Structure 1
């Protein structure tokens, strides 16, 4: 009985050992690399199994190299990382290419061999348009505002303290003038009455002399 159990365990282990390579190679021995372009300077690529087109679930060991079309500049090697903004087969670079035309090549070494290349153009991104000249901000509600005098117009200063003094000085002057007129009129009347009295006295004396 024990011999049968041991024999069954050995067969099971051998079966698993035989099936494991089959499962490992179910997708094929190569991967398909398609460089799809760039997004804001980041190289993008799709990596699938060559045999069935399934996305690669395993960790991918790949390098990215780029050379300018004129051959004056080179970038890389960079590694590929999962692209969260793309499909499961999408990969990208953490680094960015500067503006220009680039010949990009991607070489995959694990979990299988694969290669892809593409000429990628990275456009120049214009900076955001600057704002115009700063404008005067509106005063906050409740903030007192002061009127600015116009050019050439005399500025109105605070009311002078001499104005009340001038007005108060004019009142006694008017009253004094009235008093002067009143006293002048009274004086003329008194003088006229005195003259009339004197004339009456003189007439009486003349009449007495004539009668006497």
Structure 2
């Protein structure tokens, strides 16, 4: 009986201490997209594949490569909350070749650049996708996102609930075996 309880306690300790917290995603991949007609958006995912849907301030700045015309931004991108972590630029870039820079705030803290061609109305568009790898920062790897109590605790609660049920079942089984043998916790001298 004691060995079973010891094993159960060891499993509980390993489950609680084993993995990284649910919010520790590591680095990120940010991809700058353009449809070739002036629309620009980004998709962002953590290194573990989860979309970056946490409130992340993202600004876009675009400078014409040829030097003609005014620069755009910095403009704040709008988060869509989709499964790809999409954030969109509300305007449209004019025809020409643009150097687009995207700056992401906490919890990502990164920067991505892409050359984005925008076709004239009578030309064929050339869509663009440029991916940037952003290494993990102390913020993205260790701190919970703002407004949360520390990430997703659902797997931990399921594990602890399952262990509690297993412990109760083990206790019931042991008590039933003792009852079947006639053991009722009475010292043998009083029988």
Structure 2 length-normalised TM: 0.47
Task: Name which one, 1 or 2, has greater alpha-carbon Rg.
Answer: 1
**Greater helix percent: which structure?**
1
TM-score where L is the length of structure 1: 0.43
Bigger RCO (CA 8 Å, 6+ sep): 2
